[in-house]
Chains A and B, each alone.
Chain A
Amino acid sequence: MKTLVWVEHDNASVKDATLHTVTAAAKLGEVHLLVAGAGCRAAAEAAAKIAGVAKVHVADNAAYEHALAENVAPLIVDLMGHHDAFLAPATTTGKNLAPRVAALLDVAQLSDILSVEGEKTFTRPIYAGNAIATVESSDAKLVITVRGTAFEKAAAEGASAAIEDVTGAGDAGLSSFVGAELAKSERPELTSAKVIVSGGRALKDSETFEQVILPLADKLGAAVGASRAAVDAGYVPNDYQVGQTGKIVAPEVYIAVGISGAIQHLAGMKDSKTIIAINKDEDAPIFQVADVGLVADLFTAVPELTGKL
């Protein structure tokens, strides 16, 4: 089987989400990559070095700069003429794009796969991760999004794949990019961090969140996350949200501070290797999944912890 993997990149380098997806694709067959963007040669060269990659298709066109699904999907559909499976990481870009590709190919899509069980058989979470479905596709071609935390990263170096230019139809004339407001952060990225410190509603307000959570995160070199309650209350921007409707993370250590542990939140973090919970309510559901729990008032415990590290 020949697979085509969507590469997430910033035109210069390849994002980690791609490396996880390559591992999933390699279980199906020969791995080809698609680098679509504007001035994306450097990203294509970086992609060609990823271990296990056989070929890199590069589509360099201003119409592909912001990965607008209306422009990019037809390009992928063209390439699917000689590929059997399209895989994208289950990031917001992948989730936006893959179903559009699937419908154009008239195939069902498999979202957020956790494992490859056979050529056409996969597992995926349903009901906020409260059940795992094993599903088999009957379609001739596969369109898949891959949950990054479920697959190891492919090595970023090791191959020297051929780079081939491809052209697509370009701008479909349906949509345009107006602008972006990206949250600035010096900390590690949430989805690839080894350690995450996450805060919940108990943090009271954004100043308190910053005073309590950030020093601990900085001490541990950790990324900062939040529960939906903390995001809705405006303590932190929405892209900090961990959960069914936010980001799915699986770090080595996840420290949940003042988070009760609603189903929605657990769906985003319960695959973490070690979960540590600090909560003053000893009956909070978070303690049912925590490997290490501390029942204490976070306003005294967290500063004390930060001080002792």
Chain B
Amino acid sequence: MKILVPVKRVIDYNVKPRVKADGTGVDLANVKMSMNPFDEIAVEEAIRIKEAGKAEEIVAVSVGPAKAQDTLRTALAMGADRAILIETDAEVEPLAVAKILKAIVAEENPGLVILGKQAIDDDSNQTGQMLAALLGRPQGTFASKVEIDGDHVAVTREVDGGLETVKLALPAIVTTDLRLNEPRYASLPNIMKAKKKPLDVKTAADYGVDIAPRLKTLKVSEPPVRSAGIKVADVDGLVAKLKELGVA
């Protein structure tokens, strides 16, 4: 079986994003970028499945600017076998990414596609579900455990209130939640080796996909700022405050 792992280059999760003064977006110039944390978990899971002898090849794919090659090299250094970059400088919405991935699935025929549950920049949480819909295949979202058994995969999902397990017919689409695994660090020798692994560069037009946005961003603004609070000196001060608020 082949596993396809889509990865996204996003602002590093430790960076506090700054909204541009003209309200057109978030300032990404000279900001540290990294692989979306949920996608690292997806790559790791694919590698573990391969290490368990249940997959032969892992293909990492990214839709983004030329610099997304770095993100793909990271995936290759972790253990992916080869990579495909769909190069574009435009912001591509989840629906268009799903359409591009659908075309790649048609070409590569993977048994499993593992995506992160959401990207930490647009916080959409849509691409995996949309891909599953377009392919007419089952989806195991917010996975905290993935077990392949013959032509099915059992996915334990993190849902409000606890966990639930679903059984999906392969090929299937899985999206990762945080507790699925602890992604490995790429070692220096593997980073060097990753430079020699194949990385194809293509465009959305190669797949005949229209990536024109359906949503227009009219404005991006700072969230309302909370007014400065007070500090109380001791527990008695806190008790008085809680009584004032009517909760004690």
CB contact under 8 A between A73 and B214, given known A91-B160, A111-B126, A182-B161: no
Q: Chain B, 125-146, contact with A by CB distance < 8 Å: what is the 0/1 string?
A: 1111111111011110110100
CB contact under 8 A between A180 and B164, given known A126-B121, A291-B229, A292-B230: yes
9-residue interface stretch from B57-65, B189-197, B215-223: B215-223
Q: How far is the CB of B151 from chain A (nearest CB, A)?
A: 12
The answer on a CB contact under 8 Å between B235 and A294 is yes
CB contact under 8 A between A292 and B223, given known A127-B120, A134-B218: no
CB contact under 8 A between A252 and B160, given known A175-B168, A291-B229, A304-B235: no
The answer on a CB contact under 8 Å between A133 and B217 is yes
User: Any chain A CB within 8 A of the CB of B107?
Assistant: no
User: Any chain B CB within 8 A of the CB of A87?
Assistant: no
| CB neighbours of A128 from chain B (8 A) | 17, 120, 123
The answer on a CB contact under 8 Å between A294 and B245 is no
The answer on a CB contact under 8 Å between A174 and B162 is no
CB contact under 8 A between A92 and B217, given known A263-B16, A276-B238: no
The answer on a CB contact under 8 Å between B125 and A111 is yes
| CB neighbours of A219 from chain B (8 A) | 248
Q: Chain B, 158-174, contact with A by CB distance < 8 Å: what is the 0/1 string?
A: 11111111111100000
Which residue, of A96, A137, A139, A287, has the highest number of chain B Cβ atoms within 10 A? A96
Q: Whose C-beta in chain B lies nearest to the C-beta of A112?
A: B123
The answer on a CB contact under 8 Å between A99 and B162 is no
Instruction: Find A103's partner among B129, B158, B231, B247 (CB 8 Å cutoff).
Output: B129
The answer on a CB contact under 8 Å between B160 and A92 is yes
Instruction: Find A96's partner among B142, B219, B238 (CB 8 Å cutoff).
Output: B142
Q: Whose C-beta in chain A lies nearest to the C-beta of B142?
A: A92
Q: Chain A, 27-66, contact with B by CB distance < 8 Å: what is the 0/1 string?
A: 0000000000000000000000000000000000000001
Band of interface residues on B: 35 or more
Roughly how many angstroms separate A181 CA and B161 CA in the complex, as a whole number? 8
The answer on a CB contact under 8 Å between B130 and A102 is yes
| CB neighbours of B203 from chain A (8 A) | none
Roughly how many angstroms separate A35 CA and B179 CA in the complex, as a whole number? 32
Roughly how many angstroms separate A238 CA and B94 CA in the complex, as a whole number? 27
| CB neighbours of B130 from chain A (8 A) | 99-100, 102-103, 109
User: Any chain B CB within 8 A of the CB of A290?
Assistant: yes
CB contact under 8 A between A69 and B122, given known A102-B130, A304-B235: no
Instruction: Find A291's partner among B98, B124, B230 (CB 8 Å cutoff).
Output: B230
User: Any chain A CB within 8 A of the CB of B237?
Assistant: yes
Q: How far is the CB of B104 from chain A (nearest CB, A)?
A: 16
| CB neighbours of A239 from chain B (8 A) | 158-162
User: Any chain A CB within 8 A of the CB of B178?
Assistant: yes
Instruction: Find A178's partner among B133, B154, B169, B242 (CB 8 Å cutoff).
Output: B154
CB contact under 8 A between A275 and B229, given known A136-B215, A296-B235: yes
User: Any chain A CB within 8 A of the CB of B19?
Assistant: yes
User: Any chain A CB within 8 A of the CB of B95?
Assistant: yes
Chain B interface, DSSP helix/strand/loop, else mixed: mixed
| CB neighbours of A276 from chain B (8 A) | 238, 241-242
Which residue, of A194, A220, A245, has the highest number of chain B Cβ atoms within 10 A? A245
Chain A interface, DSSP helix/strand/loop, else mixed: mixed
User: Any chain B CB within 8 A of the CB of A308?
Assistant: yes
Instruction: Find A294's partner among B11, B121, B222, B234 (CB 8 Å cutoff).
Output: B234
Roughly how many angstroms separate A289 CA and B178 CA in the complex, as a whole number? 26
Roughly how many angstroms separate A239 CA and B160 CA in the complex, as a whole number? 6
User: Any chain B CB within 8 A of the CB of A11?
Assistant: no
The answer on a CB contact under 8 Å between A178 and B165 is yes
Instruction: Find A136's partner among B122, B158, B159, B216 (CB 8 Å cutoff).
Output: B216
User: Any chain A CB within 8 A of the CB of B201?
Assistant: no
User: Any chain A CB within 8 A of the CB of B21?
Assistant: no
Roughly how many angstroms separate A112 CA and B234 CA in the complex, as a whole number? 39
State the 5 A-B residue pairs at the shortest beta-carbon distance, nearest first.
A99-B129, A103-B133, A103-B130, A108-B214, A99-B126
Supplied contacts A95-B129, A253-B245, 12 more A-B pairs, CB within 8 Å: A69-B129, A93-B159, A99-B126, A102-B130, A103-B131, A130-B19, A176-B167, A180-B159, A219-B248, A263-B16, A305-B235, A308-B236
- B residues whose Cβ falls under 8 Å from a Cβ of A: 11, 13, 16-17, 19, 26, 93-95, 98, 117-118, 120-134, 136-139, 141-142, 144, 154, 157-169, 177-179, 213-223, 226, 229-232, 234-239, 241-242, 245, 247-248
- The 16 sampled A-B contact pairs (Cβ below 8 Å) are A95-B125, A96-B141, A100-B129, A108-B95, A108-B215, A127-B123, A128-B123, A132-B223, A175-B138, A177-B165, A179-B164, A183-B161, A238-B158, A253-B242, A292-B229, A294-B237
